[in-house]
Amino acid sequence: MISFECDYNNGAHPEVLKRLIETNNEQTLCYDKDCYTKSAKDKIKLACDDDQADVFFLTSGTQTNATVISSLLKSYEGVIAINSGHINVHESGAVEYTGHKVIAIEGKNGKMEAKALRSYMEDFTANYNDGHSVYPGMVYISLPTELGTIYNAKELELLYNVCREYDLILYVDGARLGYGMMSQECDITLPFLSKHCDVFYIGGTKQGALCGEAVVFTHNNAPKNFIAIQKQHGALLAKGRLIGIQFDTLFTDNLYFDLSRHAINMAMKMKKMFAEKGYKFFIDSPTNQQFIIINNDEVERISQKVIFTHWGPADQNNTICRFVTSWATTEESLKELEKIWE
Amino acid sequence: MISFECDYNNGAHPEVLKRLIETNNEQTLCYDKDCYTKSAKDKIKLACDDDQADVFFLTSGTQTNATVISSLLKSYEGVIAINSGHINVHESGAVEYTGHKVIAIEGKNGKMEAKALRSYMEDFTANYNDGHSVYPGMVYISLPTELGTIYNAKELELLYNVCREYDLILYVDGARLGYGMMSQECDITLPFLSKHCDVFYIGGTKQGALCGEAVVFTHNNAPKNFIAIQKQHGALLAKGRLIGIQFDTLFTDNLYFDLSRHAINMAMKMKKMFAEKGYKFFIDSPTNQQFIIINNDEVERISQKVIFTHWGPADQNNTICRFVTSWATTEESLKELEKIWE
Amino acid sequence: MISFECDYNNGAHPEVLKRLIETNNEQTLCYDKDCYTKSAKDKIKLACDDDQADVFFLTSGTQTNATVISSLLKSYEGVIAINSGHINVHESGAVEYTGHKVIAIEGKNGKMEAKALRSYMEDFTANYNDGHSVYPGMVYISLPTELGTIYNAKELELLYNVCREYDLILYVDGARLGYGMMSQECDITLPFLSKHCDVFYIGGTKQGALCGEAVVFTHNNAPKNFIAIQKQHGALLAKGRLIGIQFDTLFTDNLYFDLSRHAINMAMKMKKMFAEKGYKFFIDSPTNQQFIIINNDEVERISQKVIFTHWGPADQNNTICRFVTSWATTEESLKELEKIWE
Amino acid sequence: MISFECDYNNGAHPEVLKRLIETNNEQTLCYDKDCYTKSAKDKIKLACDDDQADVFFLTSGTQTNATVISSLLKSYEGVIAINSGHINVHESGAVEYTGHKVIAIEGKNGKMEAKALRSYMEDFTANYNDGHSVYPGMVYISLPTELGTIYNAKELELLYNVCREYDLILYVDGARLGYGMMSQECDITLPFLSKHCDVFYIGGTKQGALCGEAVVFTHNNAPKNFIAIQKQHGALLAKGRLIGIQFDTLFTDNLYFDLSRHAINMAMKMKKMFAEKGYKFFIDSPTNQQFIIINNDEVERISQKVIFTHWGPADQNNTICRFVTSWATTEESLKELEKIWE
């Protein structure tokens, strides 16, 4: 059965696998000391055009979020996210497990608005800045968002301005960063992002790697001894090369973004197909996650033929269905999807 | 340069890699839901001859220790380990980060003795059992130990008896479990281990996998919702298949133990070589880690030709040097090692 | 200057102080072992008509909430509270510091409605019960609420029914429990409360003691070794008698509730006074906290003559002002308050 | 029955109680905002002759240790203490509960020696400074120690020198600080202590108060927002005045040290009495805790007439018995103690 369930149900991109095979017999240094990890770091810094960046490799998204957030917050600080933020709903309380509150505010189209953030900070400063409430120390956003939407450069800049005004760290969850940046609507590049946030991560797991995320601290602001922090969080691989080699490959010859663009092309075809068939969308997404509203009876019927995510009820009779493309999505699978309606 | 630094400086065993390649294009379910993870669990339960076992896959050793230990202890309980226990010295405080004290007692030859444990518990019960000291709730041992030594079946049984008498959970860190079990001196098998502890893990990272450890709760005693616990600890891979496929392969046709036996054979040849050259050993190890006492001048000289670990000073003039074999060690590399002295 | 700022700006009730003086020269056992602590526990159990209750004494409200909540939740569970719940906004993230998420849902008049709780649990069960979201393990409510309102017996019963249906622990924060129970509208008694929740605390600090809160686990459900848990949280006094003597006094001859009734009488007179002067109320409170809407200019003027809390803006021109009575409020202070408008 | 069990089995010194009574009817500001808290802070700073000091009041010793230690350590750092250090054995793992390892090293006569600390740090720097072991970030000592012994000025200075050399924070637990400083052998004063450590606390609970400890950060090094940290730890009293008034009284007219000197005088008389009767001491203590070795049969006999602490076995036939004097010990009780042997 074909699957559009998510962007992490395939293995790795063949080129990634090929490099793992080629290097398999080499003996390397361990943890973060091997040459591939070093090379991958350099390539990422170059791609970000950021000499001051520090790059670290972790294994999974939730692990990355919990480790990075707790490494930068003071014990009595929390992190602001929108209600639908991944750390707020889909990470089993991993951030709170490290002792920090996720301060949830309203979002719009899956995004945090600069004015909503400012409004929260004004209220906090006026009414809660007395030691009895959690101090906001960081802002968490996702690019693209959990709903497939993207910030444009102007929105990101405005948000970062508010962060700097209130001394908040801006952290960007880039689990699907490539899919966001290769969206036709996106005017944010890696160098721009590096200049407009304090730390972000470049997702590997959902973007062609077997596992792995690359954290980028953008301006000499990595916490001291971050490797010890990774170790303490269980977030340091003994065979660090596993992630190093993968990112070294993904950031060679623009592979990371080529794969991302492919996924977007597939998504746009899929989106067009659903639109032509008259389906409504829960939200207008320019990225690889598409949210289609489908009648409950039909949901049941097509579930026999294709795997997708039941995102939640749209209303009593309809369901929000998430269909996701990835670097691995083929024209063939799109055709098979279309056949369901023939 | 040849390296005997550790058992995690190679990639994966070719058979493991082959299976990753063969399955790469398949779309599977995620987290722990894929067919390979299920198959690997079944094979491990079979190898343990333990119908009541529950098996979970995590990514690395420190992560596994912190997640398992904190999942089983009550908030006010600690875990007893010997001074040289891995969780006590080499995990950056990962267990304490979860809120639990590592209660360190004296070991002997890298092992915890049943009588030492009993003595500690008698003292605790007589003098500290009043709510003002950390309650011991678990015993942590390693098989083989951090010094390459092994428990025999009788020693393990005695230790487990003390644990049961005092209501302590016995947890066995098996980062190198195969290398222990394939030692010529070892009379502990997987089924025996399953019956003589409460939880253990079968190491993958050091035993032929790219990454991954298999936790075995031995008698329907897995914490409820352990997957949520993994997620909260950042210890759940989205592409769980990555570890599932590897363990499925390692536990097919006895590969795991064949690889382990190879490493032991290599280690015994190496040990013999050092002995014949007149070197003294820091400890008599029957497993893949050998600790040789070498004069400091010579240490400097051979460091130009082979990578190994400086374990610590033996005395003012000599160093304890750790040489480690693995599933990947070749006869050729042993010969190259020997050539250093020609 | 007179103060209606809060109910913890006086010392202790004279009878409480008298008993501290009378017992001062006695040498007692320490922590929770002294005779006064034992006596206080017995009197509270009697007042609750609950043989199965376990009573423990802690020092302050935030400490009590964090200690009790974390002692009863599993590591991956969170506690449901309404947005305005004290643990959600006014405790500096003390609950999250213990590793648990506060799951905030909408309240109504400062209260959690049974149907809102059911709705949340239905949604959770249908859509989030997969290990990737925080499991709700407890419900936190306050009686009276942070807005001075109270649950009636029927509302509490309905809420507890939902809790039992979904296996949620019901915890009632009674920082001002007496002020709630002595409200003319309240039909909840200590015995009724004991039968309709799993754990609650009887506030001392705001109700006539220098410090101290009495936690009541209602049906043999106290966590094992709760004294060790208190110690670990820094929530166990060496001179436990300090709190024991105070609660022993407060629960002798109904003093606790007599004091509470006095505060309510004072509050109702104050409420009447404001109403007669034509002021509007932010909420209709039957307890010792009254929330009056006052024009900003007037707020500034009367702030010179009386201390009260600026709760927040009502609109651009008006402020919500909290005036609080307590066991220590006198008729004289009410008259002085009234004089401000003469 | 007379008791020499500990120094926290009486109420408060009469002068302390008198001030609580005199101020009882006053309405004050809350938390740390009242005038008595401010006055107490000023008096303590004056007594320390330390303009740069910041003073905060907490409720109990364990709470103070856990709050102060975790407020100053980075997440991956631990605190060095000797094996018998209070945080290592008698606080139910309160420090570990905040996520930090207590690194236990050997002590001598209850004290940490500068050379032992240096030796540990040299070993750490040479062999463990790689991100895989807990970084030592702080040194914890007690003055007087858990065994009643004291550091002299020279010893403290040497220890502090090592701390500064290795960038370690020096924290002094002064639960019984007055009893230490009033010992005839002690040449450490409050101003000297302020100059030779980074943070210490002045114990109140064991020194004449009902409860309360005063933390002194010695040189503008208090963590930002320490009140929020207290709140988060459940370590901030709503009626902060309770502790403020007590310390304001204890630091008026030298009461704190007068009380301490009295306890020492009583202890020395008691010590002389035991010596004259031919008893051996477990350790030579110049402070209010005396450790006498008594035959087990006699221990049983005198336990009928006086309460004291069974510290542990001296050998098979003898017990180490702790007898403690305090500010409240009377000549009469000493006579009664002596009568037991008549």
- C160-204 per-position pLDDT tens digit: 999 999 999 999 999 999 999 999 999 999 999 999 999 999 999
Chain C residues with CB under 8 Å of B132 CB are 228, 231
Query: Given this model, what pLDDT does residue D61 score?
Result: 98
Give pLDDT, residue B1. Answer: 87
Backbone angles phi, psi at A312, to 5 degrees: 155, 170
pLDDT at A4: 97
Nearest beta carbon to residue B131 from set C99, C132, C225: C225
Q: pLDDT tens for residues A117-156?
A: 999 999 999 999 999 999 999 999 999 999 999 999 999 9
B neighbours by CB contacts (3+ pairs under 8 Å): A, C, D
Burial of C88 (0-12, 13-18, 19+ CB in 10 A): buried
Q: Does C303 touch chain D if contact means CB atoms closer than 8 Å?
A: no
Distance CA B188, CA B178 (A): 11
The predicted-structure confidence for A278-334, as pLDDT tens digits, reads as follows: 999 999 999 999 999 999 999 999 999 999 999 999 999 999 999 999 999 999 999
Percent of chain D with pLDDT over 90: 99
Q: From the candidates B8, B73, B77, B97, which should be mutated to test the interface with D, based on the most D CB atoms within 10 A?
A: B97
Q: Do C211 and D239 touch (CB under 8 A)?
A: yes
Q: What is the pLDDT of residue D1?
A: 87
In chain D, residues 247-266 whose CB comes closer than 8 Å to chain A: none
- Would you say A49 and A73 are in contact if contact means Cβ atoms under 8 Å apart? no
- Average model confidence (pLDDT) for chain A? 97
Q: In what order do the strands lie in the sheet with C102-105?
A: C54-58, C213-217, C199-203, C169-173, C135-142, C77-82, C102-105
With contact defined as beta carbons under 8 Å apart, do B336 and B22 qualify? no
Helix H or strand E encompassing D13: none
Is A17 an interface residue toward B (CB < 8 Å)? yes
> What is the residue-wise DSSP string for B23-44?
TTT-----TT-SHHHHHHHHHH
Judge whether D232 is closer than 8 Å to chain A, CB to CB: yes
CA distance B206 to B178: 10
Please choose, from the candidates C322, C61, C289, the residue with its C-alpha nearest in 3D space to the C-alpha of residue C173: C61
pTM equals 0.97
Is some CB atom of chain C closer than 8 A to the CB atom of D211?
A: yes
**Max CA distance (Å), chain B:** 64
Query: Which of B 19-48 lie inside 8 A of C, CB atoms?
Result: 31
Calculate mean pLDDT across residues D20-38: 96
List the helix and strand counts (H, then E) for chain C.
14, 13
Listed in sequence order, the residues at least 6 apart from B303 whose beta carbon sits closer than 8 Å to its beta carbon are none
Contacts of D100 in chain B (CB under 8 A): 93, 96
User: What was the pLDDT predicted at D342?
Assistant: 86
Q: Tens of pLDDT along D308-324?
A: 999 999 999 999 999 99
Q: Quick one: pLDDT at residue B261? A: 98
User: Which among D247, D160, D242 has a CA at the least distance from the CA of D203?
Assistant: D247
Say which residue the tokens 């629960």 belong to.
C251
- Considering only residues 131 to 190 of chain C, which have any Cβ-Cβ distance to chain D shorter than 8 Å? none
Q: Which residues pair with D322 in a beta bridge?
A: D291, D309
Sequence-distant (6+) residues with CB within 8 A of D306 are D1, D2, D3, D4, D336, D337, D340
Residue D307, strand partner residues: D3
Question: Which of C90, C98, C101 lies closest to A133 in CB terms?
Answer: C90
Q: Provide mean pLDDT across the span B188-197.
A: 98
From residue B33, how far is each of A24, B221, C221 by CA, in Å? 28, 21, 36
The shortest C-alpha distance from A228 to chain D (Å) reads: 4
Please choose, from the candidates B45, B43, B35, B162, the residue with its C-alpha nearest in 3D space to the C-alpha of residue B105.
B162
The DSSP code for A6 is -
Give B111-126 pLDDT, tens digit per residue.
Answer: 999 999 999 999 999 9
CB atoms closer than 10 angstroms to residue A39: 17
Amino acid letter for position D18 = K
Cα gap D255→D208, rounded to integer Å: 9
Coil, strand or helix at C104? strand
Instruction: Give the tens place of pLDDT for each residue, A35-89.
Output: 999 999 999 999 999 999 999 999 999 999 999 999 999 999 999 999 999 999 9
- Name the helix (H) or strand (E) containing B126: helix B114-127
Judged by DSSP in three states, C281 sits in: strand
- Within 8 A of D94 by CB-CB distance, chain C residues are 231-234
Whether C206 sits inside 8 A of D93 (CB atoms) is no
Interface touch C70/B70, C-beta < 8 Å: no
pLDDT band at D273 (very low <50, low <70, confident <90, very high): very high
Q: Quick check: bond before C191 cis, omega within 30?
A: no
pLDDT digits 0-9 by tens, C108-156: 999 999 999 999 999 999 999 999 999 999 999 999 999 999 999 999 9
Q: How much is the pLDDT for C342?
A: 87
Q: What is the mean pLDDT of residues B83-112?
A: 98
When scoring A76, A130, A225 by the number of chain D Cβ atoms within 10 A, the one with the most, hence best to mutate, is A76
What are the distances in angstroms from CA C15 to CA C243, D64, D271?
14, 30, 41
Give CA–CA dist A151/B210, Å, rounded.
37
In sequence order, the β-bridge partners of residue A307 are A3
CB pairs under 8 A between A and D: 42
Summarised one tens digit per residue, pLDDT across range D44-81 is 999 999 999 999 999 999 999 999 999 999 999 999 99
Mean pLDDT of B205-222: 98
Q: How far apart are CA C293 and CA C281, in angstroms?
A: 6
CB pair distance less than 8 Å for D132 and B92? yes
Task: Tokens for A58, please give them.
Answer: 């972790």
Band of pLDDT at residue D171, cut at 50, 70 and 90: very high
Task: Test A92 with C133 for CB contact under 8 angstroms.
Answer: yes
Which position has the token pair 């007068």?
D258
Tens-digit pLDDT profile for residues D291-304:
999 999 999 999 99
Confidence of residue A1 (pLDDT cuts 50, 70, 90): confident
**Is C134 in contact with A96 (Cβ distance < 8 A)?**
yes
Contact B232 C75 (CB under 8 A): yes
Per-position DSSP letters for C239-258, written without gaps between them: TTHHHHHHHHHHTSTTHHHH
Supply the Cα-derived Rg of chain A in whole angstroms: 20
Task: Give me the percent of chain C exceeding a pLDDT of 70.
Answer: 100
Q: How many CB atoms lie within 10 A of CB B335?
A: 12
CA A72-A76-A79 angle, to 5 degrees, is 55
What distance in Å separates the CA atoms of residue A309 and residue A85, rounded to the nearest whole number? 18
For chain C, domains (ranges, CATH) are 2-7+255-339 (3.90.1150.10), 14-250 (3.40.640.10)
Task: Report d(CA D171, CA D174) in Å as an integer.
Answer: 9
Q: D278 burial class (0-12, 13-18, 19+ CB within 10 angstroms)?
A: exposed
**A60:B238 CB<8 A:** yes
C10, C14, C92: residue with CB nearest D27: C10
A293: number of Cβ within 10 Å: 18
Using alpha carbons, list the distances in angstroms from residue B137 to B140, B170, B219, C267: 10, 9, 18, 51
The distance of Cα B201 from the centroid of its chain, to the nearest Å, equals 7
How does residue C1 score in pLDDT terms, banded at 50, 70 and 90? confident
ipTM of the complex: 0.97
As a whole number, mean pLDDT of residues D160-185 equals: 98
Mean pLDDT of chain D: 97
Task: Give residue-wise pLDDT tens across range D133-164.
Answer: 999 999 999 999 999 999 999 999 999 999 99
Listed in sequence order, the residues at least 6 apart from D309 whose beta carbon sits closer than 8 Å to its beta carbon are D5, D6, D321, D322, D324
Q: What is the pLDDT of residue B342?
A: 86
Question: Rounded to 5 degrees, what angle do the CA atoms B66, B67, B72 make?
Answer: 100
Compute φ and ψ for B338, nearest 5 degrees: -65, -35
Choosing among D1, D9, D58, which should be mutated to test the C contact, i.e. which has the most C CBs within 10 A? D9
The subunits that touch chain A, with at least 3 C-beta pairs less than 8 Å apart, are: B, C, D
Instruction: Enumerate residues 6+ apart whose C-beta is below 8 A from C28.
Output: C34, C35, C36, C241, D9
Model confidence pLDDT, tens digit, residues C50-65? 999 999 999 999 999 9
